Amino acid sequence: MTTDAVRRHEPEIKTFASDNYAGIHPEVLEAIALANGGHQVSYGDDAYTEALQGVFRRHFGDHVEALPVFNGTAANVLSLRSMCAPWEAVVCPDSAHINTDEGGAPEVTGGLKLLPVATPDGKLTPELIDQQAWGFGDVHRAQPRVVSISNATELGTLYTPAEIKAVCDHAHELGMFVHLDGSRITNAAAALDVPLRALTTDAGVDMLSFGGTKIGLMLGEAVVVLNPSAAKGLPYLRKTGMQLASKMRFVSVQFEALLGGDLWLRNARQANGMARRLADAVRGLPGVRVAREVEANAVFAILPGDVADRLRKRFRFYNWNERIGGGEVEVRWMCAFDTTEADVDAFVAALTQELHA
């Protein structure tokens, strides 16, 4: 068999910009090939999507329903739309992905009102929720209906099961639902050494956006309904939101490869472990300080801006905060499931060279 396609990148080159940069895990790629050939019913009525429900139920509970979608923004918007009437609103950290990095999709596509709360570490507490969860019954104020949290957060911090339960208990007392943006939920569970349901179902979360792309899938996230009474019209919202895949078997089979065994855990442990290795290696370098505790697969560091600019020509990564002052910037270095010890060591060696240039 021949192909006219041409390889247009160097497979051995790794970066520290995003875990989205990584390719497809070989076991996932093998599963996609396994699902190929012959005909299967389209739009989710295939054998692989049917089997997918059992896979998710083993991790999250017998009552859950998983709806595959193309990407994380869609998973978040559809989850929140299904829980909110047009006059209702979502309380979230000001650093939340839905507030800072989704191009206004919750507002533009979902018609959602976001009520952001400033947090020191990207995490909400019952006390912080109360800063925006008020005005119930006031016709002049958007009615708070959902609390949205992320685990891991955009600042790389983690909620423990007890912290999530405290958020859920408080939100439920207020008559609100809880949504969890789990684009890196596997990294969180691996770091805390707990089952996925400990951070979701058992803690009281109503709706989960389960992330697959960052942990080895080609494409695909899933809206996971943990509390059936929280979601309304999701199948119809998915269709009108242009997220109903015609050849859904190729999305669904990836989750079976990821969650059917321990691939999710192996991948998450690898990414988390390489982040710890990177943080440990740079802590002793003059001019570099690790800015935040490394809890999952993200390393935030402060270093001279000119060093960051030179290093970025060799390894791609992003500035996180350019307003540090004194010529310094805060950067974010992400490790992925395919990041190796050799990748980390090469990056640290390059950083050391640039610090002494």
Residue 6 CA, distance from chain mean position: 31
Percent of the chain predicted with pLDDT > 70:
100
Q: How confident is the model at residue 1 (pLDDT cuts 50, 70, 90)?
A: low
Checking if the pLDDT of 255 tops 80, the result is yes
CA gap 235, 42 in Å, rounded: 15
More confident residue, 305 or 1: 305
Q: Which of 232, 222, 235, 178 is nearest to 204 (CA)?
A: 178
Q: Select the more confidently predicted residue: 284 or 170.
A: 170
Look at residue 264 and tell me whether its pLDDT is greater than 90: yes
Query: For the segment 7-16, what is each residue's pLDDT rounded down to a tens digit?
Result: 999 988 899 9
CB 107: neighbour CB atoms within 10 A?
A: 15
Which H helix or E strand runs over 148?
strand 143-150
Q: Which band of pLDDT confidence, cut at 50, 70 and 90, is reported for residue 175?
A: very high
Backbone torsions φ then ψ of 174, nearest 5 degrees: -85, 0
* DSSP H/E element including 320: strand 318-325
Give the integer Cα–Cα distance in Å for 70 and 239. Answer: 12
Please report which confidence band the pLDDT of residue 152 belongs to, taking 50, 70 and 90 as the band edges.
very high
The residue-averaged pLDDT of 347-352 equals 98
Report CA-CA distances (Å) from 119 to 42, 127, 177, 186, 212: 44, 11, 20, 23, 27
Whether the model pTM is above 0.75? yes
35 has pLDDT over 80? yes
Q: Are strands 328-334 and 318-325 parallel, antiparallel or unpaired?
A: antiparallel
- Residues 6 or more apart in contact with residue 53 via CB below 8 angstroms: 65, 66
Look up residue 331 and give its two tokens: 């950067």
Look up residue 93 and give its amino acid.
P
Taking 90 as the threshold, does the pLDDT of residue 143 lie above it? yes
Residue 288 has pLDDT above 80, yes or no: yes
Q: Give the ranges where the chain is alpha helix by DSSP (H).
A: 26-34, 47-60, 72-83, 97-100, 105-108, 126-129, 161-173, 185-192, 234-240, 249-259, 263-282, 305-312, 341-355
pLDDT tens profile 76-125 = 999 999 999 999 999 999 999 999 999 999 999 999 999 999 999 999 99
Q: Report whether pLDDT(196) > 70.
A: yes
Rounded to an integer, what distance in angstroms lies between the CA atom of residue 235 and that of residue 283?
A: 48
pLDDT 10s digits, 313-331: 999 999 999 999 999 999 9
Q: What is the mean pLDDT of the chain?
A: 97
Task: Give, in degrees to the nearest 5, the angle at Cα 83 between 220 and 242.
Answer: 40
For the segment 282-304, the average pLDDT, to the nearest whole number, is 97
According to the model, what pLDDT value does residue 124 have?
Answer: 98
The band of 3, judged by pLDDT with boundaries at 50, 70 and 90, is confident
Residue 33 has pLDDT above 70, yes or no: yes
